[in-house]
Structure 1
Amino acid sequence: MNKDQVKGRVEEAKGNVKEAIGKITDDETLEVEGTLQKTLGKVRAGFGDLKEDIKKSD
């Protein structure tokens, strides 16, 4: 597991928490921020997954 995978999954988890808190508190801004952070985390984790796949194929 590389640093992009780890950091991406951490960001994804933090985004999930923010999104949930935003829904609970009816704070639309926090909910949108959480959704964005979660999405960016998924992208970074996916990039890390791709790097691992390339490394394994060498």
Structure 2
Amino acid sequence: MISEKETIVLVHGGIGYVRNDFTESGGEISIKLFLEREEDRWNIVKTDEYTLAEYKE
């Protein structure tokens, strides 16, 4: 948490798919969610998603 009104959440996980020929594919996801608090709720104001190629750089 940055402050009582701002925070950043890191979401890390994976996505998997099964294709029509039953082969599997997918990848890793890594997304930062930038949140700001307004009254009693948090709102996403910005996201920063990385592709696998960007992550490896």
TM exceeding 0.5: no
Which is richer in helix? 1
Please give the TM-score of this superposition, normalised by the length of structure 2.
0.22
Which is richer in strand? 2
Does 1 or 2 have the higher relative contact order (CA < 8 Å, sep 6+)?
Answer: 1
Larger Rg: 2
